[in-house]
Structure 1
C-alpha cells in the first residue's frame, strides 16, 4: 500500500527536499502552511514537485487546526519541520520562536495521542541546543546548553518528543541536525548571504559584504542528504533520536574564503566585519558525531563544507545569469 506522509513546514528548504525525496519513494505527500492561498511555494516549484503535493492550511500553534488536518490526512508518517528557524531572528522574535516550535510540536504530539495514532512522528531538533561543544563532537546524551531563544525552543521540543515516546508509547523521534545548506536557503541565512554577495561582487556590483563574527566554527552539510537521514530514522522498528552531521567543523572565515575563491576573488578585499552584527550570545564551536547514524541508519555525509559552497555558488551564478531551472529566490 502507498504510504501517506504529512510535512509541516513544507515550503521551507528541508520540506521541499523531503517532499521530492518521498515522492520518488512512492509516497503520497501532503504538506501544511498557515495559508495555502498566500504562501509562496517556489522551492517546491523549482524542484518540479509542486503539482504532486497536496497542501492544507494549518496553524501549528492552534490545536483544533492540527487535529483537523491530522484527522483529514491520516498520515502514516508526520515530519515536523515547521516553526521559526532562524537563530538570529529568534533574538528579535523570541515569543514567536518559542510558540511555533514548542507549542507547535506539543500540538502534533497531543493530536497523535488523542487519535490513538499508529503513525510515526519525526521532529526537527537542532544542534544549536548543545551550545558550545568546545571542539568535542556532540552525541545524543551530550548535555544541552542553549544560547539563543531558538536553541531553547528546540531543546524544549526535543524533550517533549522524548516524554511522549516514553509516557504514551508514540513512535516519535528527533533528528538533531547540524547546519545543512543548499541553494534553497533564504537570503536571511548567513551562508546564502555570503554566496549571493560573492557572486554579485564577481559580476561587478561593487558592494562590500558586512558580516558579524567570522571566527565561529560550524559543521556544515548538504540539505538534500540530510532529509534522507530523516526518512531513515522513521523506518526504524523502534524510535530513537540521532545526531546528523558531517563530523567536520570549519570556521565561517573558511566558508567566506571558499565562496570568494570560487568566483576568483580574495575575500579580504570585499568583506567587512561589523561588531553591530554580532549576536547577543553565540556559539564558538559546533560539531557533531555521526557514527551512530552511520552504524544504525547506514547514513553518512558525502558532501562537506567546500563541496557545499561550490554547489551553492554554481547555482547562484546560474540564477544571476537567468539560466532555466536556476533556483530563483523570493526573500522568504
Structure 2
C-alpha cells in the first residue's frame, strides 16, 4: 500500500485528491495547521480515512515530524494562502506561507530522505497566476512568468525553488501549473462559488442581487476533480517535470453568469448583478488560457467536465444545500 502526505488537505484540491488516492488504495495523511482548526471536524466527517497530523508550513520541524509518522511515498504540497484578493491585504503572510512554505516543505523532504533522495516524490501546486501579465497566448510551460499579485509572486518563488531542488539534489519534484479549477467544494470567497451560491439563493428567493468586480476578466476554468488526477499522474512518471494543466478554453465572468442564471431559468440577469470597484484587483490579470498539450501527450491526461457542466454542477450543489437547509 502506497502512502501519501498532503498539505492543504482541508481545501478543495485536498478533498478531491484525498478521495482519488484513497480509491487507488493509498494510505492518506493530511497535515492540518493548528490543534483546534475548525476544518478538522469537516475532515473527520467527509474524509474519515485521512489520518490527520498537525503541523505548519512555516515550521520545518513540524513537517519533519509529519514525514516521520506518515513515511510517505508521495508528498503533495497544496498548502497556501490561495485567495488572490487577500494576498494584497496580507502580502507578507502570503509570501511566507505560499512562497517560503514551499522551501520548508522541499527542505524537510530532502532532510528526511537523506541519501535516498528519490524515496519521496514531491508535487508542488504552482498556478496560472504566475503568468499574470501574459506574454504569450495560450500559456505553456515555457511562457515567461510575469505575476501581477503578491500571491502570483509567491507562487513563482515556490515554482522555481521546486525546479532548483530537482536540478540540484536530483529530487523527484514536479510542479503542476494549474489553471483555475472549480467545484462545489470551492470556498465562498472565490468568484465562481460566490456566483453559484448567489444564483441558487436568488432562484430560491433568498436574495435579490449579487455584487461583483470585473465581468470581462477571462479565465481557463476546469473541474478540480479532473485536475487532481493530473497531479497524481505527474508523480507516476519516471522523470519529474513541470506541466500546464488546463482546458485550453477561456471564458469570461460574464459567460459564467450567463450559464449559471440560465440554468435556473433567469435569462435577463443583468439587473440582478451589480459592480463595485472594491472588488477590482489593483493589477488585473485579464486573460488566462493554458496549453496543456504536454500533459495530454506525456501524462495521458485530459479534462472530462466541460465549462457548462461545471457551472451547472456548482449551481445544482448550492440549490441542493439550500433545499436541505430548508427541509
Q: TM-score, normalised by structure 1?
A: 0.93
Q: Separation in 1 of the partners of 2:44 and 2:109?
A: 30
Pick from 66, 80, 98: which aligns with 2:77? 80
Q: How far is 1:29 from its partner?
A: 0.3
Contact 1:135 1:285 in 2 (8 A): no
Q: Separation in 2 of the partners of 1:278 and 1:249?
A: 20
Match of 2:306 in 1: 304
Contact 1:134 1:284 in 2 (8 A): no
Q: Separation in 1 of the partners of 2:122 and 2:80?
A: 16
Contact 1:102 1:154 in 2 (8 A): yes
Aligned positions, number: 321
Instruction: Report the CA distance shift for 1:163/1:134 in structure 2 as closer, same or farther (over 3 A).
Output: closer
Q: Separation in 2 of the partners of 1:139 and 1:204?
A: 43
Which region of structure 1 is more displaced relative to structure 2, 145-154 or 69-78? 69-78
Match of 1:54 in 2: 51
Contact 1:219 1:246 in 2 (8 A): yes
| Residue 108 of structure 1 pairs with residue 105 of structure 2 | yes
After superposition, what is the alpha-carbon deviation per residue over 1:70-89, rounded to whole angstroms, capped at 9, x for unaligned?
12222100000001000111
Q: Separation in 2 of the partners of 1:313 and 1:12?
A: 19
| Residue 235 of structure 1 pairs with residue 236 of structure 2 | yes
Match of 2:209 in 1: 208
Contact 1:137 1:289 in 2 (8 A): yes
Match of 2:261 in 1: 260
Pick from 96, 104, 120: which aligns with 2:93? 96
Q: How far is 1:40 from its partner?
A: 1.3
Instruction: Report the CA distance shift for 1:203/1:45 in structure 2 as closer, same or farther (over 3 A).
Output: farther
Q: Separation in 2 of the partners of 1:323 and 1:5?
A: 35
Match of 2:18 in 1: 19
Which region of structure 1 is more displaced relative to structure 2, 63-72 or 231-240? 63-72
Match of 1:149 in 2: 150
Q: Separation in 1 of the partners of 2:279 and 2:249?
A: 26
Question: Tell me, which stretches of 5 or more residues in structure 1 are unaligned?
Answer: 325-332
Map residues 165-314 of structure 1 onto 2, 5 A cutoff: 165-265=166-266, 266-314=268-316
| Residue 8 of structure 1 pairs with residue 10 of structure 2 | no
Which region of structure 1 is more displaced relative to structure 2, 224-233 or 34-43? 34-43
Q: Separation in 1 of the partners of 2:316 and 2:135?
A: 33
Q: Separation in 1 of the partners of 2:38 and 2:228?
A: 22
Contact 1:16 1:43 in 2 (8 A): no
Q: Separation in 2 of the partners of 1:220 and 1:301?
A: 11
Q: How far is 1:267 from its partner?
A: 1.7
Which region of structure 1 is more displaced relative to structure 2, 8-17 or 36-45? 36-45
Q: Separation in 2 of the partners of 1:306 and 1:135?
A: 26
Contact 1:135 1:286 in 2 (8 A): no
Which region of structure 1 is more displaced relative to structure 2, 134-143 or 58-67? 134-143
Instruction: Report the CA distance shift for 1:74/1:112 in structure 2 as closer, same or farther (over 3 A).
Output: same
Where 2:261 maps in the other structure, the secondary structure is: helix
Q: How far is 1:135 from its partner?
A: 7.2
Contact 1:36 1:55 in 2 (8 A): no
Q: How far is 1:67 from its partner?
A: 1.5
Q: Separation in 2 of the partners of 1:134 and 1:201?
A: 39
Which region of structure 1 is more displaced relative to structure 2, 107-116 or 5-14? 107-116
Q: How far is 1:275 from its partner?
A: 1.9
